[in-house]
């Protein structure tokens, strides 16, 4: 008993020392979202934005870009029924902080489990996502799973905002996703005091997650991906390698073919001329809604907004409001320019023995066969989900929670 007690006091002392150092060195501070004063101007701009009375070519599908009726519906909701203050109150239920690492202010959610054995995890979002993309999964992940297969898996959840996104400061022009990975490793280990942890990433967040997985192999001890930083291969290349696809996998591969031929103009625009689109839409909430709302719509499950998906119009308006209200549409677009090789064509294996898990969501926009995912890491689980798309935290939270809990069964500090 005495022995157990002294271990506890040593642990407490260590934790306090770590947070004391963190306060001094990293200026760690609690954070609350407070953007309400910017709402009157947002509402005025949205209300006064003129859209065509009727669609120029009513038959043109969403493959040609956002559809007028959908944009108008969102515009009306933004003005008439969307309640920013209520959403802000919800978001502020998450414990949030800022810390300064290598001169960058990093905003992050940090929700701890009551379980002393909880695994630390960092969840990494992309564009046009934000920390909000993980809102439905954060609290459940802090709780112990009740399913037999995942007994006692729970997490201390950290969700940072990427540099240049919402409340994290815009980085220097030469900043890359490897730099982001390095400061996030410092966040997890030095600011928060976790000596090992797990990672999950999607979209640009998967580029950072993979960099952590590859370069920080003593601290990152498991990884779960729903997207990997390697471009998908063509149906022909799959066939040449004798890889046959299930019907569900084929749907995703077809979506990749479409994305790579008639769906990636935004990617090239932001990679080549981030200031053009960034400044053109800087003070245009409806413009940002058209540019980003189109992606939420086109990249998710056609059933988005119906259970288990919570990716409805409100979720899109929260996402776009976060970008507009924090002036981060311009700075977030630069991530494409700053990382021309963020997504690679040559598949290489990460320098780690840490287990890697992968889940393919049917309506995602890129597709990876198991044989290809296995080329890039120590693949221990490959799953295909027939509901959900590019934003599984919103359009299939229960399965994403399961995916991440499964990783817990492979994690060993
Ligand atoms: C660190 O800062 C937080 C909030 O600013 C404060 O609550 C806490 O007591 C500080 N910890 C130490 C060890 O100074
Ligand atoms: C879960 O925790 C309980 C209580 O600490 C323990 O009895 C049980 O063996 C644990 N289960 C697993 C699979 O570790
Ligand atoms: C990046 O730019 C900053 C100035 O903004 C400079 O201090 C730093 O040395 C540059 N880093 C590299 C790797 O070029
Ligand atoms: C694919 O299968 C064919 C026929 O069995 C075989 O000749 C070919 O070598 C295989 N290709 C690869 C890349 O395994
Ligand atoms: C995949 O889908 C395409 C388009 O619907 C179809 O032409 C093709 O035969 C399908 N391939 C497989 C392997 O199911
Ligand atoms: C979207 O779903 C949330 C619950 O996740 C609900 O509160 C909200 O009213 C829904 N919004 C719309 C426009 O249906
Ligand atoms: C970590 O990476 C280094 C450098 O590539 C390598 O030498 C080492 O074996 C790796 N360690 C693990 C545990 O994979």
In the chain, where the domains are located: 5-36+84-409
Nearest atom in ligand 1 to the alpha carbon of residue 23 is: 1
Query: For residue 1, is pLDDT > 70?
Result: no
Q: What is the DSSP letter of 230?
A: B
Give me the DSSP letters along 143-204: SPP-SGGGTT--EEEEEEPPTTSTTSPPPPTT--HHHHHHHHHHIIIIIS--SSEEEEE-TH
Catalytic residue (one of 203, 301, 395, 403):
203
Per DSSP, which regions of 5-112 are E strands? 29-31, 96-101, 104-111
Q: What's residue 8's pLDDT?
A: 37
Residue 390 annotated as catalytic: yes
Q: Does domain 5-36+84-409 have CATH number 3.40.50.1820?
A: yes
The two tokens of residue 405 are: 């809990």
Count of other CB atoms within 10 angstroms of residue 311: 29
pLDDT band of residue 210 (cuts 50, 70, 90) is: very high
* 246 CB within 6 A, ligand 4: no
Decide: 338 and 174 in contact? Cβ < 8 Å. yes
pTM: 0.93
Give the nearest ligand 5 atom to 250 CA. 1
Length of the chain: 413
What is the strand order of the sheet 197-201 is part of? 29-31, 96-101, 104-111, 155-160, 119-124, 197-201, 220-225, 355-361, 378-385
pLDDT of residue 156: 98
Ligand 5: distance of its center to the CA of 243 in Å? 13
The pLDDT tens digits for 234-250 are 999 999 999 999 999 99
Give mean pLDDT, residues 262-273.
98
Number of H helices, E strands in the chain: 17, 9
pLDDT tens, 37-86? 999 999 999 999 999 999 999 999 999 999 999 999 999 999 999 999 99
Closest CA to 194 of 306, 288, 118: 118
pLDDT tens-place string over residues 319-356 = 999 999 999 999 999 999 999 999 999 999 999 999 99
- The model's pLDDT over 82-117, given as tens digits with 9 standing for 90+, comes to 999 999 999 999 999 999 999 999 999 999 999 999
Residue 228: predicted pLDDT:
98
The encoded tokens of residue 278 equal 């960034």
- State the Cα–Cα distance between residues 381 and 405, nearest whole angstrom: 12
Ligand nearest to the CA of 371: 4
Cα dihedral: 275, 279, 280, 285 (round 10): 130
Model pLDDT, residue 130:
98
Q: Give the residue among 206, 201, 41 at the shortest CA–CA distance from 134.
A: 201
For the question of residue 336 being annotated catalytic, the response is yes
Of 15, 398, 12, 412, nearest to 221 by C-alpha is 412
Which residues have CB under 6 Å of ligand 7? 217, 351-353
> Of 334, 318, 226, whose CA–CA distance to 270 is shortest?
334
Choosing from 132, 197, 266, 336, the catalytic residue is 336
For 143-193, the pLDDT digits (tens) are 998 777 777 899 999 999 999 999 999 999 999 999 999 999 999 999 999
| Beta-strand pair 220-225/119-124 | unpaired
Determine the pLDDT at residue 21. 66
Q: How far apart are the first and last CA of the chain?
A: 25
The pLDDT value given to residue 20? 61
DSSP H or E stretch at residue 88 = helix 84-91
């Amino acid at each position: 008993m005495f022995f157990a007690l002294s271990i506890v006091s040593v642990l407490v002392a260590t934790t306090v020392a770590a947070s004391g150092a963190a306060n001094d060195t990293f200026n760690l501070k609690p954070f609350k979202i407070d953007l309400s004063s910017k709402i009157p101007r947002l509402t005025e701009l949205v209300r006064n934005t003129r859209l065509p009375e009727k669609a120029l070519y009513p038959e043109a599908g969403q493959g040609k870009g956002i559809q007028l009726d959908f944009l108008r519906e969102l515009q009306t909701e933004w003005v008439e029924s969307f309640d920013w203050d209520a959403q802000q109150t919800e978001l502020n239920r998450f414990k949030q902080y800022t810390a300064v690492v290598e001169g960058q202010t990093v905003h992050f959610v940090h929700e701890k489990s009551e379980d002393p054995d909880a695994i630390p995890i960092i969840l990494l979002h992309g564009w046009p996502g934000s920390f909000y993309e993980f809102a439905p999964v954060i609290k459940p992940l802090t709780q112990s799973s009740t399913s037999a297969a995942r007994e006692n898996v729970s997490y201390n959840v950290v969700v940072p905002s990427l540099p240049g996104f919402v409340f994290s400061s815009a980085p220097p022009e030469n900043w890359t996703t490897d730099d982001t990975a390095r400061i996030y490793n410092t966040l997890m280990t030095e600011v928060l005091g976790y000596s090992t942890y797990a990672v999950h990433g999607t979209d640009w967040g998967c580029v950072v997650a993979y960099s952590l997985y590859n370069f920080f192999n003593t601290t990152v001890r498991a990884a779960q991906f729903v997207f990997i930083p390697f471009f998908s291969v063509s149906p022909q290349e799959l066939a040449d390698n004798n890889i046959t696809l299930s019907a569900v996998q084929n749907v995703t591969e077809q979506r990749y073919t479409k994305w790579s031929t008639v769906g990636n103009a935004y990617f090239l625009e932001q990679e080549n001329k981030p200031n053009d689109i960034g400044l053109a839409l800087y003070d245009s909430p409806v413009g940002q809604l058209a540019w980003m709302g189109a992606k939420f719509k086109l990249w998710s499950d056609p059933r988005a907004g119906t259970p288990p998906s919570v990716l409805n119009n409100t979720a899109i308006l929260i996402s776009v409001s976060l970008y507009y209200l924090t002036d981060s549409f311009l700075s977030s677009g630069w991530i494409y320019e700053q990382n021309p090789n963020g997504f690679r064509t040559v598949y290489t294996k990460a320098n780690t023995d840490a287990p890697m898990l992968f889940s393919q969501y049917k309506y995602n926009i890129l597709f990876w066969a198991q044989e290809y995912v296995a080329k890039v890491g120590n693949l221990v689980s490959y799953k295909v989900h027939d509901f959900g798309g590019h934003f599984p935290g919103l359009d299939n939270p229960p399965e994403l929670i399961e995916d991440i809990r499964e990783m817990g069964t492979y994690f060993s500090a």
